[in-house]
Amino acid sequence: MNILLLFFGGSFLVIGVQFFRGKWLWLMAGNLLGDDQGEINSAGAIKAGKWTSPAVIICGVSLICLVFDGYWFWEILGISLLIISGLYFVFLVVIAYIYWAKS
């Protein structure tokens, strides 16, 4: 279980950093094969990547913190970071909905 948490935590860290750099943005749209990228709004995709990358990075850090299951400090830190990143995602959805409702 710890190796799985470490793998997913590291994957989330790498994906979050790549989102912040403006790379691998096709993963956000669920386009796993990376085709049909000519129709994507580049400025909007980069902006969305920069907005979502902190939450993805925090998710990765929280999963890595949960690897240390024998220490209560790391468990509380991991769970609290996971809750914070979840609230950040909810905040992003609400902001996107308000922005969409205005236009």
Mean pLDDT computed over 49-60: 93
**pLDDT of amino acid 26:** 80
Contact present, 56 and 12 (Cβ < 8 Å): yes
DSSP 20: H
- Higher pLDDT residue, 17 or 34? 17
Buried b (16+ CB within 10 A) or exposed e, 30-51: eeeeeeeeeeeeeeebbebbeb
First to last CA, the chain: 45
Average pLDDT, the chain: 87
User: What is the pTM for the complete model shown?
Assistant: 0.82
Predicted local distance difference test score (pLDDT) of residue 31: 66
* Total residue length of the chain: 103
Mean pLDDT for the stretch of residues 52-69: 93
Report the pLDDT value the prediction gives residue 11, as an integer from 0 to 100: 96
Higher pLDDT, 72 or 28: 72
Task: Tally the C-alpha atoms within 13 A of residue 9's C-alpha that lie toward its C-beta.
Answer: 18
